[in-house]
Structure 1
């Protein structure tokens, strides 16, 4: 691949541990894995607002109690926020209607239980980090940073409920410093899937480890064959990924960094790569 560039765009004060992004109509919607708010950052005005998802919303929720929203995806007029599934409290799906501002909550515990049984992933190793809707199916990206390193994509029908059919496709990603990278987000751009992956020196989905680097990659949206990967950092844990701009020769993304701390600030970067 030709030279990529990462440009720091802005620091957003008021959000910590950002884990997912959706850019739409000059607004950047952000989720945090230790908050029960959905955030909207208006880019031109540089103004941050909080969208309440529950009656009692909190920021910096303790690790054992947090909802761990790691995946956000836009389907039609609705944003879908998904918990990682690594504990019972992390098995929720929240939808936010961009037209009506309506918030709806659904418990996905039965779906996640079926997912674990189908894929033979243990309770403590289920770790959904990305989601997208493609070819009339939901694709959930399992981060295989547990002891068994089960990295892959769960393919579900379009309902996301306990009756969803489930197929799991294992995906092997390149290593950084002998540690296999694992999914931290994924999006669909036209007919291609772009994904972020990080090498983290841990065998736990619960405890953080030393970061050895992050990569971006692209895969076929039907066969899931990996077309390329490119290391973009030696020590940063990039999680959120959203399309920013696309031309005939290059594609630009906005990405966010999970600082794994209680500091309420988030750095947003612009990543530019050539179209190949």
Structure 2
């Protein structure tokens, strides 16, 4: 049995609707699904810096036109930020250099997302990328199964270039329920050869509209077999949408989590999750 402790660590004022985060050098890089900025929060000084990801960025973009940045991953000095693909204007990937603090590329992933939908047998209404991992060779993209068909799918994409010359594999998962609602992927990270993922249950059958939050779980997938090794409910009340690794001590692993509050309020809670894995 996995034992865990969940606690509120701090609040970031100026960041709303947090949907993904990365911990490095005692700082947090974070995105919000309403925003077109990358946020850099220095924990010691509590200073928040904003980096524009597009021209004319906004912090609370209207839902119909927002780019819906839901997934973030980092490899070496590059951060990759993905739109969810849940509507036609949400198909962008932005590459950001953490050394120069500038955007180095913006890529239209419409063709890739169409291939993924076809290969994973996911309708456009049920397509919703909310987690991303890149290890320098392979990409893992996580479709959140919060649509009518509950298509929780992990796509493994081999190839550095996501616009051509890539190979796609798909693994579909039936995740646990909380209060009768099926959980669905919201984020994931890679530690050695294990994927640690978050999944949340909401009372909705829409990838577009939010519903009553029913809780969240953490789980682990082995990348060799792509089988789930464990899942554990960590809350009945929070909608966790971002996970990043903090540290490991023996069998205890520590993660930072961010919560999407589904409002326009520019503040986000960052939680610490300590979990002992036998």
**Shorter-chain TM-score range:** over 0.9
1:192 to partner: Cα distance: 1.0
Which residue of 254, 267, 270 corresponds with 1:265? 267
Contact 1:93–1:105 at 8 Å: present in 2 too?
yes
**1:46-74 CA deviation, whole Å, 9 max, x = no partner?**
11000011120101101111111110000
Alignment correspondent of 2:30: 30
Counterpart mapping for 1:163-174 below 5 A: 163-174=165-176
Q: Is the 8 A contact 2:120 2:153 kept in 1?
A: no
Q: Assess if the C-alpha contact under 8 Å between 2:2 and 2:277 holds in 1.
A: no
User: What's 1:109 paired with?
Assistant: 110
TM-score by length of 1: 0.97
Residues in 2 aligned to 1:163 and 1:180: alpha-carbon distance in whole angstroms: 35
Decide whether the 8 Å contact of 1:138 with 1:160 is kept in 2: no
Offset of residue 161 of structure 1: 1.7
Question: Could you tell me which residue of structure 1 aligns to residue 189 of structure 2?
Answer: 187
Cα shift at 1:272: 0.2
Contact kept in structure 2, 1:111 and 1:163, CA below 8 Å: no
Q: Secondary structure at the match of 1:22?
A: strand
| Cα distance in 1, alignment partners of residues 165 and 239 from structure 2 | 34
Q: Which piece of structure 1 moves more, 114-123 or 155-164?
A: 155-164
**In structure 2, distance between residues paired with 1:223 and 1:152:** 15
Deviation for aligned residue 1:113: 1.4
Question: How many aligned positions are there?
Answer: 276
Deviation at 1:275, TM superposition (A): 2.8
Match of 2:128 in 1: 127
5+ long unaligned stretches in structure 1: none
In structure 2, C-alpha distance between the alignment counterparts of 1:2 and 1:200, rounded to whole Å: 24
Structure 1 residues 200-255: Cα deviation after superposition (integer angstroms, max 9, x where no partner): 11110000011111011111012121111111110110011000111112000000
Alpha-carbon separation, structure 2, partners of 1:165 and 1:110: 13
SS in 2 for 1:114: helix
249, 255, 269: which one aligns with 2:257: 255
* SS of residue in 2 equivalent to 1:90: coil
Alpha-carbon offset, residue 133 of structure 1: 2.0
Match of 2:180 in 1: 178
Closer, same or farther: CA 135–53 of 1 in aligned 2, 3 Å? closer
Pairwise mapping of residues 1-276 of structure 1 onto structure 2 (< 5 A)?
A: 1-103=1-103, 104-134=105-135, 136-158=137-159, 159-276=161-278
